[in-house]
Amino acid sequence: MTVPVRRTPFVNRSRYGFDLRSTALFFVFLAVVVCALGLAARVAAGAVERRPAWVFVLVAIAVAGCLGLRRRWRLAGVARRAAAALDEAAREAAEVLDAPDPAESVPAPVSATAPTTPIAAVVVDYDALTPEGFEEAIAGLCERDGCTEVEVVGGAGDLGADVMAVTPDGRRAVIQCKQYGESNRVGSQDLQRFGGTCFSVHEADLAVLVTTSDFTAPALEYAEQCGIVCVNREGLEAWTDGSGPQPWGAALEDGTAGWEAAGSGC
């Protein structure tokens, strides 16, 4: 049994969509026509200028041409359809370009590793510093708390002065730094050597001895007599973390601000 083959009917695509080839050919043809008309108009203008009698001939030719163009109105319909197709294509392209990027509309994920607690304060390990580093650390504390003209002068021939500064209330401070171990306390001899130079040689208004250890009882008695402020490890740590007073503040609280008269006798 033979099955008849159905033929696919011919579909005129020009009636259902935009035909790029036909549109291009139309514009080429239109350009040729415009050029030909321009050339003809130029030739006609030259002929009329040379022979005015040719005006009647050109008018007759123009009328005949108009009558012939009445049969070509379909050309104008094709042009209108081409223009509509081009307008539709331009509109679709503009919609695609204006569409937002889906990737841009997605919010950025919140980092799960973002810090939620404040950073802990840094603790200074004075025992791990070199003697020069310890003096620099004390000078840094003075600068932090408002002293000016801070200078590290410790070294050979310093005559007991390691750090010199001007306190916020304008007094000249001379500081000696003793980086001792816990078992090695500052004795009275250390205080006597410092007291013999801090006032008479360095002209201190405020004499301070800072140590990472502690002071013996005779040393504290001598310091009280001469008006020297003694800062042991506990006082140094309190000064460092801000929980205790600065040496110039401690001098006022302890009543040693009037040490100048007593200091002159040390």
Rounded Cα–Cα distance for residues 222 and 219 (Å): 5
How many residues comprise the chain?
266
The domain defined by 127-263 folds into Trna Endonuclease; Chain: A, domain 1 (3.40.1350)
Phi, psi of 127 (to 5 degrees): -70, -25
**Residue 263 clears pLDDT 50, i.e. is over it:** no
Phi, psi of 83 (to 5 degrees): -65, -40
pLDDT the model gives residue 79: 53
Top-confidence residue, 53 or 243: 243
Strand order of the β-sheet with 163-166 is 148-152, 163-166, 172-178, 206-211, 228-231
33 half-sphere exposure, CB direction, 13 A CA radius: 8
**Residue 109 clears pLDDT 80, i.e. is over it:** no
pLDDT the model gives residue 254: 54
Rounded Cα–Cα distance for residues 245 and 262 (Å): 23
Residue type, 249: G
Mean pLDDT of the chain: 75
pLDDT the model gives residue 158: 74
Taking residues 164-186, report their average pLDDT: 95
- Can you name the residues that pair with 176 across neighbouring β-strands? 209
Rounded Cα–Cα distance for residues 3 and 159 (Å): 125
**DSSP-based three-state secondary structure for 236:** helix
**Residue 15 clears pLDDT 70, i.e. is over it:** no
- Work out whether strand 163-166 and strand 148-152 pair parallel, antiparallel, or are unpaired: antiparallel
Rounded Cα–Cα distance for residues 46 and 174 (Å): 112
The 10s digit of each residue's pLDDT in 117-157 is 333 454 789 999 999 999 999 999 999 999 999 999 877 77
pLDDT the model gives residue 46: 75
**Residue 230 clears pLDDT 80, i.e. is over it:** yes
Top-confidence residue, 192 or 254: 192
